[in-house]
């Protein structure tokens, strides 16, 4: 029971830090590295709680700028931004 | 599910505030200080403090993580910088 409690406490701290990193990213340009060597840049707007999709705006694509888009997290390898 | 995604929160916690090398899908390699691992997605948040005072944040998605190797432990100064990052009242 002590082990379980420790584990839950650890989850809470790590989850809160992750959610804070997402809030800090909102409105900033983010560079996404996707599978098949695709790189795109967009402004981050929001995520769902399961971290399955990212809502972005101003998505830069070879065909022009998409005002709003949904990126599936399963298509993304990494993302990066600066503060 | 990959080996990284199957780890328990206590196992992920061992990487927090360590400098690590992450090998990811399609031969991508990343290095930075681990701020946290999201227990839901297993996404790993790497932070690098740049010379101009800016902070670079790179997140590797949990499903794309292949290997994580610890490079070194944080000293007290680094621990504090990481603890204050993204906290309310800080910018």
Among chain B residues, the shortest Cα distance to A17 is held by B36
The edge-to-edge listing of strands for the beta sheet with B65-73 is A64-72, A53-61, A39-47, A29-34, A76-82, B55-60, B44-49, B28-37, B18-24, B65-73
State pLDDT tens for residues B15-27: 999 999 999 999 9
Is the pLDDT reported for residue A1 higher than 90?
A: no
Is the pLDDT assigned to residue B85 strictly greater than 80? yes
Q: Cβ–Cβ of B57/A37 closer than 8 Å?
A: no
Tell me whether B56 touches chain A (CB under 8 Å).
Answer: yes
pTM: 0.94
Phi-psi region of B12 (alpha: psi -120 to 50; beta: other; left: phi over 0): alpha
A35 contacts B13? CB cut-off 8 A: no
User: ipTM of this model?
Assistant: 0.94
* Per-residue pLDDT reduced to its tens digit, A39-50: 999 999 999 999
To the nearest whole Å, the CA of A56 is away from the closest chain B CA by 16
Residue whose C-alpha is closest to residue A31's, from A23, A43, A21, A22? A43
pLDDT in tens, A9-67: 889 999 999 999 999 999 999 999 999 999 999 999 999 999 999 999 999 988 899 99
**Kind and range of the H or E run holding A17:** helix A2-25
């Amino acid at each position: 029971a002590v082990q379980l409690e420790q584990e839950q406490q650890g989850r809470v701290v790590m989850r809160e830090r992750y959610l804070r990193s997402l809030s800090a990213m909102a409105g900033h340009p983010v560079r996404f590295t996707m599978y098949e060597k695709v790189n795109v840049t967009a402004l981050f707007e929001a995520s769902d709680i399961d971290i399955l999709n990212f809502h972005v705006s101003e998505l830069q694509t070879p065909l022009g700028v998409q005002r709003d888009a949904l990126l599936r997290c399963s298509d993304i390898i990494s993302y990066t931004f600066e503060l | 599910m990959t080996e990284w995604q199957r780890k328990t929160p206590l196992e992920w916690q061992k990487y927090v505030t360590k400098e690590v090398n992450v090998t990811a899908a399609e031969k991508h390699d990343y290095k930075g200080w681990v701020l946290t691992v999201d227990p839901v997605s297993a996404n790993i948040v790497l932070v690098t403090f740049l010379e101009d005072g800016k902070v670079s944040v790179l997140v590797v998605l949990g499903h794309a993580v292949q290997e994580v190797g610890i490079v070194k432990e944080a000293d007290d100064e680094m621990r504090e910088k990481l603890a204050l990052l993204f906290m309310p009242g800080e910018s």
